Structure 1
Amino acid sequence: MFVRTAGDRDLAAVRALLVETWHATYDAIYGAERVTEITNEWHSIASLKARLAKPNSEFLVADDGKRIGGMAFAEAVDGGGVVMLRQLYVLPSLQGRGIGGMLLDEIIESFPEAHRIRLEVEEKNTRAVAFYQANGFVQIGRTENCGSASSAIPALIYERVLAA
């Protein structure tokens, strides 16, 4: 797998990856119907396309030349001092092979002015929590509305200080 910037031609594959990964991860937590609602809203082609053009952001895919195995999206906030990691997903069949780490490293390198990187993660997503903790993130808080102001999805807020 190699990491590169996403383009329009990747959006259908990225959406398929997100739908598969969300169902594999969250069906047991929220139920398949709610996961379908969320993926239809948050991971529509139109939603993904809007991220491609968003200023001060980076949209990456992990690609082996045959398929997209992972994706990440982040944006600079607070004048560029903080990177908000909005998405980092790897196909369930490819998890544990270093793809998430590659995506995370490339996101961090894409924002050299940032002093810290922050994210929200579902507390019951124990694999993701363990991944972020293993990559130097510490919990700094919680939110009752992960992803959007009215999602009613609770999450932990994690942060990692970046080298100056």
Structure 2
Amino acid sequence: MGFHIRDMDKKDIKAVQNVARESWKSTYNGIIPMEIQETFLGSAYSDSMMHKRLEVSSLYVAEVSGEVVGFANFSTVKQGNIAELGAIYLLSEYQGEGIGTALLREGIKNLNGAQSLIADVEKENKSGLTFYKAKGFHIHSEFNDNLDGLITKMARMVLPIQ
């Protein structure tokens, strides 16, 4: 399957919002109630939040036949030479095709000066944990997060960058 990774543009906002929604539905079904998912996505992926993300972070999209099928969101490099991977989502039918790996590589390639990359992963998200471990991330710490009243167990995963 041929895919293309590129910088996200404002015209991609609706497609990225769709990928986030569909990815959350398939990943968190039975883990996070749908109404909490909808509240979170409505806030974190609102039009205004997407415009802000485009201004203050790095976003990449993956396309197959001109359709956005995934995206990744990286912070800028922060104090301590650390960057955060805020999101990496794919439509479920495109998982396992190397697209997530390509999105991760593209973001890392552009993290000038970063010595480590952090990703917070919900501990019941087995496919996410497996993906990150396969890419060289290790669990640094665990914590509870409050997602609109639902306490989720999170793993903070860290990837050293050479």
CA–CA distance in 1 between the matches of 2:134 and 2:94?
18
Per-residue deviation, residues 4-39 of structure 1 (Å, max 9, x unmatched)? 110110000000110011011112101212111111
Mapping of 1:68-147 within 5 angstroms? 68-79=68-79, 81-145=81-145
**Pair 1:129–1:64, CA change in 2 (3 A):** same
Answer yes or no: is the 8 Å Cα contact 1:27–1:35 preserved in 2.
no
1:160 lines up with 2:159 in the alignment: yes
**Pair 1:9–1:146, CA change in 2 (3 A):** farther
Structure number with greater CO (CA < 8 Å, separation at least 6) is: 2
Structure 1 position 146, deviation (Å) = 7.1
Identity, in percent, stands at: 26
Answer yes or no: is the 8 Å Cα contact 1:75–1:84 preserved in 2.
yes
In structure 1, list runs of 5 or more residues that go unmatched.
none
- In the alignment, residue 10 of structure 2 is paired with which amino acid? D
- In the alignment, residue 4 of structure 1 is paired with which amino acid? R
TM-score of the two chains, using structure 1 as the length reference: 0.90
Structure 1 position 110, deviation (Å) = 0.7
**Pair 1:151–1:49, CA change in 2 (3 A):** farther
* Counterpart in the other structure of 2:18: 16
Answer yes or no: is the 8 Å Cα contact 1:74–1:85 preserved in 2.
yes
- In the alignment, residue 36 of structure 1 is paired with which amino acid? E
In structure 2, list runs of 5 or more residues that go unmatched.
none
- In the alignment, residue 161 of structure 1 is paired with which amino acid? P
Counterpart selection for 1:45 from 33, 44, 47: 47
Per-residue deviation, residues 82-117 of structure 1 (Å, max 9, x unmatched)? 110000011111000000000000010011311111
Q: What CA RMSD, in Å, does the superposition of the two structures yield over aligned residues?
A: 1.9
TM-score of the two chains, using structure 2 as the length reference: 0.91
